[in-house]
Amino acid sequence: MDFNFTEEQEMLRNTVRSFVDKEIMPHIADWDREGKFDPSIMPKLADLGLMGVCIPEQYGGSGMDYNSLAIVCEELERGDTAFRTAVSVHTGLNSMTLLQWGTEEQKQKYLVPQARGEKIGAYGLTEPGAGSDVVALQSTATNEGDYYILNGQKTWISLCDTADHFLVFAYTDKSKKHKGISAFIVERTWEGFSSKAIKGKHGIRSGNTGEIFFEDVKVPKENLLGEEGEGFKIAMSALDNGRFTVAAGAVGQIMACLEASVNYCHERETFGKPIGKHQLVQRMIANMEAGLQMSRLLVYRAGELKNEGKRNTRETSLAKWQACDFANKAADDAVQVHGAYGYSDEYPVERYLRNSKAPVIYEGTREIHTIMQAEYVLGYREDKPLNKMLPAWEGDLVNK
| Three-state SS letters, 314-372 | HHHHHHHHHHHHHHHHHHHHHHHHHHHHHHCCCCCHHHHHHHHHHHHHCCCCHHHHHHH
Query: Which of 52, 31, 136 lies closest to 94 in space, CA to CA?
Result: 52
Q: Which of 81, 356, 35 is CA-nearest to residue 210?
A: 35
Q: What angle do CA 87, 91, 96 make, to 5 degrees?
A: 160
Sign of the Cα pseudo-torsion (370, 373, 379, 384, in order): positive
Return the pLDDT at 396: 38
Closest CA to 335 of 320, 322, 358, 354: 354
- Residue 216 Rama label (left phi>0; alpha psi -120 to 50; beta): left
Q: Of the listed 230, 267, 363, 382, which one is catalytic?
A: 363
Q: By the 8 A CB rule, do 307 and 67 touch?
A: yes
* CA–CA distance, 355 with 327 (Å, rounded to integer): 10
Contact 264, 346 (CB under 8 A): no
Phi, psi of 189 (to 5 degrees): -75, -5
- Angle formed by the axes of helices 349-361 and 231-267, to 10°? 160
In the chain the domains, ranked by start, together with CATH numbers, are 7-120 (1.10.540.10), 122-231 (2.40.110.10), 236-399 (1.20.140.10)
Phi and psi (nearest 5°) for 232?
-65, -45
Give the torsion sign (CA, 290, 292, 293, 296).
positive
Active site residue 363: yes
Total number of residues shown for the chain: 400
What gap in Å lies between CA 333 and CA 329, rounded to an integer?
6
Q: In tens digits, what is the pLDDT along the chain, a chain of 400 residues?
A: 667 889 999 999 999 999 999 999 999 999 999 999 999 999 999 999 999 999 999 999 999 999 999 999 999 999 999 999 999 999 999 999 999 999 999 999 999 999 999 999 999 999 999 988 999 999 999 999 999 999 999 999 999 999 999 999 999 999 999 999 999 999 999 999 999 999 999 999 999 999 999 999 999 999 999 999 999 999 999 999 999 999 999 999 999 999 999 999 999 999 999 999 999 999 999 999 999 999 999 999 999 999 999 999 999 999 999 999 999 999 999 999 999 999 999 999 999 999 999 999 999 999 999 999 999 999 999 876 655 666 665 443 332 2
- Which sign does the torsion angle of CA 119, 15, 5, 353 carry? negative
Are the C-beta atoms of 330 and 291 separated by less than 8 Å?
yes
Q: Taking Cα atoms as reference points, which of 81, 72, 75 lies closest to residue 46?
A: 72
Q: Round to the nearest angstrom and report the end-to-end CA distance of the chain.
A: 12
Q: What is the pLDDT of residue 120?
A: 98
The maximal CA–CA distance of the chain, rounded, in angstroms, is: 78
